[in-house]
Structure 1
């Protein structure tokens, strides 16, 4: 079902380029939003891979990775990764391609597809509209579009890349380049997954977490190839810890945010806010020298915070990609909703917008945390066949394929059923709840919206401005005619 993200890219990235970006690029502002939350996922993924490949304890791996990123950005600054970013991106692409090529060395593409078909892994047309189904066409396309918009339309780590472009057209070109590059990455992900499934189809390995499956495959099937383990580890760290390039074509090609750029962004924003607040309040003079000194220590503080949250991520019994979507859905959905309110609803004022984002954050996290607490796990397709009992370690209900994706035990009633909703919809829940609460609050408690005329049209989406211009032209003509009649009388 993940292949439907091809359609998601064709929908989401043009929306980012032509609906959101024209306004945001003109404003040239930044904010941290959910950056610190997502750092934990970006840290957990490469640390888990290193732990699986080398045997280093996971907590030690997490701590070392965070410290490495913090020191990297503290002493090198935001420019530290610009010269190495292109090389790191080549390492990522090369390792993924090599992984697929070597994985097909002892099998054929036809055998891989046949095994996947027999295991019901090639179902691309799941049209079930039940929102409890984790991966149907509807959940992937609708929810996936919301997730991609959270990543690229209202996420500071993405926006700061667009802002350094010379003009809006260059920024839009960078956004649209995500379509082919992300499509290639997606195709490689799916190919790798099918190869791994075919390799372990007869007997699933003993694992502590499903996130260890790919590193285990590299050790079991590819370790005899010289250098492949090092290449794989380098690719994981290049994707997870690298400083995303802030210029030209390579900007934003990979879907995951990175630790070093996150620490740099968090430090820069905090320093900016502190400088403004201190200098405005005349509490103390926060000059440039003091700001540079503080900025060198902030990444260390953020690193320790990220370590704690990454350890929490290691306790979640789900794959890293789903964890990242949950974070960006629950935390990014309300933020995206605020952007939608600001760009499309001119009459909504600050108080209503604040009520909207607070309500949507509470609702989104209630759904996400409630689902985790109540363990609303979906039915999984069988992973083990013709395998000795002692090797079966990941429990799965041998349900019929048509039940795939539903919650295992329907133990929820009434409103509690919302905790069974697919994680793909979390971002949509955040957006809709924000927009609905903001509009209702404005109409009920915001008073007259006649003062919305003081909102500049430049702060609205081009779609809204195009509809307002004919209205304003008609009003201007009508006012002119009334003035002429008055003068004539």
Structure 2
């Protein structure tokens, strides 16, 4: 039932046509790259595209990989209920792009590695490498389950498709083209799917502007409804979203994604030069801005339409993440193919993220577990990698079932990155910043950090945060033109627990009002700082911090001084002063083993002291 009292439209034939065409194009891209590379059985070709990728498609792939169906469905619902402060994440994206491009990228690129967790083996030992790999696999499988569940929820709301049938179909399609085409198929399908996602947002924004008589009216309604709450500088760490939680907490969280997460790092180290890799990160920053702006405007559009008849309070939808699909069928259902475009947008976000995750999971399994322990030919490794892609696809489909128990898909996804990504970020930074850090201190800091943030995360699920810290902005059902069985007063703090179906144990300990109520965005910086501080203290106490560390494993002044345009040796004939030196890889589990690397001297900075001066 729409707010006008008329039945909400259903999927038409043209909607199915648009949706199926999107699927077929995605599958075709995978098949095309599989056929094109059939004579190239190299595992590097499958996982890294032969390290010949260009900046623009990689940038769009980086954006699409984590701007998934969680963004398409979850962010507009977030803005609808909590306001446009989500747009402040654009500041975090800028910080993250600079940090990833100028600090993390130079280290990973010059080491010539496939898995980011190879670094942990080089800097610490094999145990550290295995721990990092294991945590990454857990993180990625959980996150991928969420992004498979999100569009299935949308399809179930709009079309009446069986929820679990859609879950399986989603996983199978992206597993198919990822297993066939490798990284190149993943990147180029991401490019196509990114365009579809933006098109879906634009359809909602444009149609909403027409219905409301212009975007100025949308802006005015949002302003008077308190949705334009961009600058909330409240320092309270228990508040869900403020300027500080988003800028500080969001920067740490997204650095854990773009700085060290295999799914992202694997893309930009596949670029043909360091210049292309850095450019891909900066172009990705622009892509993140564009996606965030479109998602926020979609949320404001939805609020302007439903500000007097909230479908959630009126029980027209079962969950916040079904709000935007409901809007699409309510106001775009009369335009054949447009609802199909929106569903394709949500589905595209899922395909891009799941395929990226599957490809990355296969990469870390091969590079960190199989290759160090088994002597396998390139051809065998390629077939094993394809088999692993298929296996992880099936596992991720199974994990999607768990996501139905996690509430809001957006907050669930970001919470997982805080609990697991935060400790991993501290693990890497400890090794990159401090030459005296050792494996005992690093592993101890990681374990304690993970346990503490997991404790906070679980506590927050058992004892929901205080309602005054998380209650949505006011919503009303006074303008509904149909009978509503719920009370007609706006949703406020006093009615929030009833309308949101929040339940918790009868006894609420005092710690639940502080520690468990910490903003989910602060989990990542909390975990990172615990891992860093504890790791440093234990490294000094164990007395093993005097071992000499190869300077190429550390962030040096040279990494920050070398200019953005610096490319790989040989890419530009005029760069005669670039020197390449390759040593044999030998990782036997010792504290600081030797490894393959590229020593790139900045043409304008030939002072040898730059390469030995640590930050």
Give the structure-1-normalised TM-score: 0.83
Match of 1:125 in 2: 231
Single out whichever of 118-127 and 420-429 deviates more from structure 2: 118-127
1:402-444 alpha-carbon deviations (Å, 9 max, x no partner): xxxxx99994414762110011111111111111110121122
Contact persistence 1:89–1:238 (CA under 8 A): yes
For residues 34-73 of structure 1, the aligned pairs below 5 Å read 34-73=139-178
In structure 2, the partner of 1:219 is 329
Q: Post-superposition shift, 1:117?
A: 2.0
In structure 2, the CA distance between the partners of 1:305 and 1:392, relative to structure 1 (3 Å rule), is farther
**Partner residue of 2:344 out of 227, 234, 241:** 234
- 2:475 maps to 1:383: yes
Contact 1:44/1:313 (<8 A) preserved? yes
Asked if 1:333 is matched to 2:417, the reply is no
Asked if structure 1 preserves the Cα contact closer than 8 Å seen for 2:423 and 2:446, the reply is yes
Q: 1:370 to 1:438 in 2, by over 3 A?
A: same
Map of 2:556 onto structure 1: 462
Matched, 1:270 2:365: yes
Matched residue of 2:161: which SS? Answer: coil
Aligned-partner Cα distance in 2 for 1:363–1:66: 33
Q: Give 1:394 shift.
A: 12
Q: Give TM-score scaled by structure 2 length.
A: 0.67
Mapped to 2, the partners of 1:182 and 1:24 lie a distance apart of 23
Alpha-carbon spacing, 1:165–1:297, altered in 2? closer, same or farther (3 Å): closer
**Does the CA-based 8 Å contact 2:477-2:488 persist in structure 1?**
no
C-alpha distance 342-395 of structure 1, shift in aligned 2 (>3 A)? farther
Give the CA deviation at 1:155: 0.8
State the alpha-carbon separation in 2 of the partners of residues 425 and 460 from structure 1: 27
Are 1:204 and 1:391, in contact at CA under 8 Å, matched by a contact in 2? no
Deviation at 1:317, TM superposition (A): 2.2
CA–CA separation in structure 2 for the residues paired with 1:88 and 1:414: 44
What aligned pairs does 1:299-318 form with structure 2 within 5 A after superposition? Answer: 299-318=389-408
**Aligned partners of 2:464 and 2:517 also within 8 Å:** no
Alignment equivalent of 2:110, drawn from 26, 42, 51 = 26
Whether the 8 Å CA contact 1:70–1:299 is kept in 2: the answer is: yes
Secondary structure of the 2:211 match is: coil
Q: Report Cα offsets for 1:108-145 as digits up to 9, x if no partner.
A: 22221222222211122212111000111111111111
| Aligned residues of 1:274 and 1:286 also touching (Cα < 8 A) | no
Q: Deviations over 1:76-127 (max 9, x none)?
A: 4334344444333222222222221112111122221222222211122212
Which of 201, 205, 211 pairs up with 1:100? 205
Structure 2, gaps ≥5 residues long: 1-84, 118-132, 497-501, 562-604
Cα distance in 1 for residues equivalent to 2:487 and 2:156? 22
1:149 Cα offset (Å): 0.6
Matched position secondary structure for 1:95:
helix
Deviation at 1:274, TM superposition (A): 4.5
Pairing 1:348–2:437 present? yes
State how far apart, in whole Å, the 1-side matches of 2:231 and 2:266 are: 37
Q: Identify the residue that residue 75 of structure 1 maps to in structure 2.
A: 180
Root-mean-square deviation (CA, aligned residues, Å) is 3.0
- Per-residue CA deviations over 1:292-351 (Å, capped at 9, x if unaligned) read 443343233323322332222111222x22222112111111111112111111111011
Alignment of 1:55-454 (within 5 A): 55-107=160-212, 108-205=214-311, 206-242=316-352, 258-279=353-374, 286-318=376-408, 320-376=409-465, 378-386=470-478, 387=480, 389-390=484-485, 396-398=491-493, 411-414=508-511, 417-444=514-541, 446-451=542-547, 454=548
Q: Contact 1:139–1:422 at 8 Å: present in 2 too?
A: yes
The change in CA–CA distance for 1:274 and 1:336 in structure 2 (over 3 A counts) is: closer
Mapped to 2, the partners of 1:64 and 1:88 lie a distance apart of: 17
Whole-angstrom CA distance in 2 between matches of 1:305 and 1:434: 30
Confirm or deny: 8 A CA contact 1:40 1:313 kept in the other structure: yes
Confirm or deny: 8 A CA contact 1:379 1:408 kept in the other structure: no
* CA 465–67 in structure 1, closer or farther in 2 if over 3 Å, else same: closer
| Residue pair 2:103, 2:560 contacting (<8 A) in 1 also | no
Distance 1:180 1:79 in 2: 22
1:278 and 1:440 mapped to 2: Cα distance? Answer: 33
Partner residue of 1:248? none
State the Cα distance separating 1:395 from its structure 2 match.
Answer: 9.8
Q: Is the 8 A contact 2:102 2:560 kept in 1?
A: no
CA distance in 2 between counterparts of 1:392 and 1:297 reads 54
- Uncovered stretches (5+) of structure 1, i.e. residues with no partner: 243-257, 280-284, 402-406, 477-489
Inter-partner Cα distance in structure 2 for 1:57 and 1:418: 40
Q: Do the aligned partners of 2:474 and 2:490 also contact (CA within 8 Å) in 1?
A: no
Please say which of residues 354-363 and 31-40 is displaced more in the overlay: 31-40
Structure-1 separation of matches of 2:367 and 2:287: 33
Cα pair distance change 1:84/1:380, threshold 3 Å? closer
Contact 1:344 1:464 in 2 (8 A): no
Partners of 1:436 and 1:301 in 2: how far apart? 38
Deviation at 1:355, TM superposition (A): 0.8
Alpha-carbon distance in structure 2 between the residues aligned to 1:82 and 1:5: 24
Could you tell me how far apart the structure 2 residues matched to 1:141 and 1:3 are? 11
